[in-house]
Each structure stands twice: as C-alpha cells, then as structure tokens.
A and B are shown apart, each in its own frame.
Chain A
Amino acid sequence: MLEIRSITQVFGGLTALLDVSFSLRQGEITGVIGPNGAGKTTLFNIISGIYRQTSGQIFLKDKNISGFPPERLARLGIVRTFQNIELFGQMSVLENVKVGLHTKSGCGIFSCSFKLPWHLAEERRITESARNWLDFCGISDLAEQRADSLPFGKGRLLEIARALAMEPQIMFMDEPAAGLNSRETQDLATLIRKIREAGITVVLVEHDMELVMDVCDRILVLNLGEKLAEGTPREIQENQAVIAAYLGEG
C-alpha cells in the first residue's frame, strides 16, 4: 500500500540514504533494522514529511505523496511516534490524546470561542473517543495527570494512544522499546499485535532484536544508508550479509 521508490538523502556532503526502495503490505508489521548510522531514522523522517528527500518518491496507494508536510500526511492516515517521546508536556494525558483527534474534528476558531452547539457535541465525542484510546493502551487511570509527570514507559504508551486516536492506516514507530524494561517490552509486543488486529499497518525501527523477530512479519535491513536485505525474520537471521554487517559493527 505504501511504496518507497529509490529514496536518496544527502546532508551537505554526507549521503545518509542511497537509492532505498521497498513497499509495505496492508496489515503487516514491518521492522526496519540496521546498525547505528544506517539511516533508519532519516528514512522515517522522510516518510513522515519532516525531511524533504534529495531524490526519490513515495506513493500511497498510487498517489504520489512525496514532499507532503506532516499535517497533510496525517489526514491521509500516516502517523508516527518518536524515539525520544514527544509529548505535549504541559497538557494532561487525556488532552494529549484529544490532540490526536484533531483531524477527526473540524470546529474552527469562531465556533470554538462562541461555544456553538455543534462544537459542544463534537467536544463530547472527542472526549469519549480519547478515553477509549487510553483504555485501549491500558492507561485510562492516568487520564488527568500532566503528561510530563509520567514515567518513561507510560509516556511511550501515551504517545501510542495519541497516534492511534488518529485512526491511521499506517503507523511508524521509532524505537518503541527504547528505554523500556523487559516486562514493558513484552506488553508493548502485545499492544503492537493488537494494533495490527485493529487493521493498522505497522512499521517499526528497533534495536531490540528479540522484539523485532517476535512481532514482525517482514524485515528491512539498512546498512550505511543502503538497503542490505529484505525478508521474513527467518530469512534475515540466516542472511550472511546481515550477519556480517552486524558483526562488523562490533
């Protein structure tokens, strides 16, 4: 459903990505792995519209979405989470998720300031829906807390809940297990499967190999900005080039 065609990204004189292509299949969980500096996060930043690639295109179901800004991608159902969780710290947990429902509501400055009836109805719907997503991620008891007071693991869940509230088609997760303990990582694996069951295509960049091999249907391996291999977890584990790249690193 999402197709990436020969993406290249150059920063100054440094080539971060070189001619990378791959495509996502609906309803699958894809893992993107590779040693540090392989270009995984750069790839995410390009797909989510934060960087503009030097060359190459991205297609969503035959629609060219290259260079769309993040807010436009959001409306097409592409969402991401961040490696160092980006919460809205001064807002409550519930409000954070409500921001995730921004595209699911439409009241503008005028109807919001004058509290017009449809705004009130919409607000009720938003609150209800936000609570559901907190429930989905198992953090509804934290609804009224300030987001910056959450422990890291809960913050991660909140970020996922907020992204899910958008009801995306594709969700990109940048190192969702980073900073989590093993118990939390297991819960995360369960949650990721649950997200897939909800019909969302998931892509994750991850260093935790156990998690990647456990949940992913397919894996893309990057090394030094180039695509090294692509395949099922089993194929990747047996791929000599991949083993060499990882051993070579350290």
Chain B
Amino acid sequence: MPIFDQLTQYLFSGLATGAIYALIGLGFAIIYNATGIINFAQGEFVMLGGMFTLSLLGGAGLPLGGAVPVAIILTTVVGMVFERLAIRPLKSATPLSLVIITIGGSILIRGIAMLGWDKDTHSLPGFSGDEPIEMFGASLMPQHLWIFVVTIFVIGCSKLFFNYTVSGKAMRACSYNSRAASLIGIDVRRMVLFSFIISSAMGSLAGIIIAPLTMTAYDVGIMLGLKGFCAAIIGGMSSGFGTVLGGLLLGILESLGAGLISSGYKDAIAFVILLLILFIRPQGLFKKAETERV
C-alpha cells in the first residue's frame, strides 16, 4: 500500500477510536462538572454496554434495534444505583475517599461482570455486516461509519440539551457554582443523579458501537475508561467540543503511533500524553489559563 493510502487508513481508524474516546471523555466531564468527582467507574459503563448487548443479542435473541436500547437502559440503571448507594450517602467526602470509593465501585462492577459472564473475549457482529468499503484508498468497515454517525448525533444532542433545555441549563449552573445553584432552587442532588444517568448512557453507547471492531470482555473498561479520561484532560474537562477534539486527537496519534512506530507501545502513547498534559498544561490544550480564586 502506498504511504499516502496507509496514512488515510490510520487517519480513519484513528478518528473512529477517537470518537469513542470522545464519548467516554464526555461522560467523565459531565460527572466532573456536576460533582467535582472523577468517576473511576466510567470505563465499566462502557464495558457493560458491550456485554449487555452481547447477551441480549445472543442469549435473549433480541434484534439489534431492540438490544441496543435495552443495553443502554440496563447500564443506566447500574449508573443510577451506583450513584444512589455509593456517591449520594457521602456528604462531605474528601477527594481521597471519593477516589477510593469510585475505584471500589469500578472493580466491584468488573468482578460481578466477570462472574456473570466469563473471562473470555467476545466479538459482536457489525451493525451493517462486515464487508469493507473502499474510500479514498483506505478500506473502512461499515461499523466505522456507524461510529461517526452515532457520535455526531450524540454530541449534537448533548449540545442542544445543555444549551436549550431547562435541565441542561440547570446542570451547567451546578457546574459553575453548586451552592449558588441550590440557592436559586435547583435540586443539586437530582442534577448529580442526572449527570450519572447521562454519563452511563453515553458510556454504554460508546461501548456498544466499538465492540464490533475491537471485541469486548469483562475487563475492557480499564483501558477505554483511562483513554476517555485522557481525552477529557486534553480538552480541559469541558463537556463540549474540547473533549471531542481531545478524543479525536488522541485516537489519531494512537493510530499513527501504532502504525508507524510500534503497535506494542500503542497503549503507552495515551498515558505519556496524559502525563505530559497534566504536567505542562493541566487546564487542557484549548483553554486559556485562568487565575483561580481560592
């Protein structure tokens, strides 16, 4: 394959995984903005999306159109239960205990998934078959297109939600100042629950649309979750385009790194970027530094 076609190929697959990272990263950012918590269990929602879909397709024999929404709903329920049982009871927890609790939740969910399903890696059929399509000299799976379409759709919806609905505006208000928000009558606790619902739904959707390309297993949540976080960090924890750009950038760099340098160290790229950003520009690539009033 000529080098130009090769690059196009890397670019396309990078954009696809990048879109997934963006969706997961948005989940991190939405919860962080509503609560100040980095939810370490975010990756597990991604895993649950893929695994539930797998069971609903195979075991329950549902068609794809039925399995996907049900899987999203089931994951969202898990997200709600987690918020109710582990996050809400803590009123004034230190960041340290929140980190520990969400890590606890994350490995608990992973453990239950391991018992409920198994330790094997499973593949999910592509939504529109597995015939590659030729485009600009690169060969794409139909699933790639699905990922692009779904991601654009979800990001568009969330933009509309945050800018034009009452609940969306209320959630934004909470992220700026939760005490002030509660003073003007916004039910902050409901907004926290809401943020968990949106994040788990988005996460599970990401897990579902990526599964046909990368396979799924009980432990895919760790890596996907961390890379989603990395996307959110590049984007400065914004629940908007910053994180989306962060995800796409990460996806492309990873794909180029894997193709041109070494596929074994592919995963390390994300973490090196993560550390560099945290060390040098913790406010994200696209934001101006703000003087914070302590």
Contacts and interface: CB of A to CB of B under 8 A. Distances in A.
Interface of A: 11-12, 50-51
A12 B294 contact: no
7 contacts: A11-B291, A11-B293, A12-B290, A12-B291, A12-B293, A50-B294, A51-B294
Contacts of A51: 294
Interface string B264-294: 0000000000000000000000000011011
A interface, by DSSP: helix, strand, loop or mixed? loop
Contacts of B291: 11-12
B interface, by DSSP: helix, strand, loop or mixed? loop
Nearest to B293: A11
A12 B292 CA distance: 8
Contacts of A12: 290-291, 293
A248 to B, nearest CB: 25
Interface residues of B, number: 4
A97 to B, nearest CB: 25
A39 B70 CA distance: 56
A138 B117 CA distance: 66
A50 B291 CA distance: 13
Interface in B112-152: none
Nearest to B292: A11
A11 B294 CA distance: 10
Interface in B186-221: none
Contacts of A50: 294
A12 B291 CA distance: 7
Interface centre among B290, B293, B294 (most CB of A within 10 A): B293
Contacts of B293: 11-12
Contacts of A11: 291, 293
Nearest to B290: A12
A56 to B, nearest CB: 16
A51 B293 CA distance: 9
B97 to A, nearest CB: 14
Contacts of B290: 12
A181 B270 CA distance: 57
Contacts of B294: 50-51
A11 B293 CA distance: 7
A13 to B, nearest CB: 11
A50 B294 CA distance: 9
A12 B294 CA distance: 13
A187 to B, nearest CB: 32
A234 B293 CA distance: 36
Nearest to A45: B294
A143 B49 CA distance: 56
A201 B111 CA distance: 61
Ordered nearest first, which 7 A-B pairs have the shortest CB separation? A11-B293, A11-B291, A12-B291, A50-B294, A12-B290, A51-B294, A12-B293
B168 to A, nearest CB: 25
A213 to B, nearest CB: 32
A222 to B, nearest CB: 18
